Amino acid sequence: MINLYDNETGQFLGRITEEELQYLIDELEEESLEDRDYYLTRDTIDMLEKTGGDTDLVKLLRTALGDRDGVEIRWSRG
């Protein structure tokens, strides 16, 4: 499983599958091959939902964003 964290606070957000991680890698921009974080906005999450993102993944990301304009998440294998 893959653990997701709020990069600003270090708070554990939840777990996603390898398939969900691969979806994020395929859909979101990475700065390098070692990049393990993503900055998400409401528009980004909406795009993920429209392009076939897993319902549970989208829900987790919306919860992580909360009422903020954006959130940076990072992942690690757990």
pLDDT for 32 = 67
The residue segments making up the domain with residue 36 are 2-77
Counting the structural domains of the chain, the total is 1
- Cα of first residue to Cα of last residue in the chain, in angstroms, is 6
Contact 36, 74 (CB under 8 A): yes
CA pair distance 44, 28, nearest whole angstrom: 9
pLDDT per residue as tens digits for the range 7-56: 999 999 999 999 999 999 999 977 766 779 999 999 999 999 999 999 99
For residue 68, give Cα distances in angstroms to 28, 40, 56, 62, 65.
19, 10, 20, 10, 6
Q: What is the pTM of this model?
A: 0.91
pLDDT of the residue at 3: 98
Residue 75, classed as helix, strand or coil, is strand
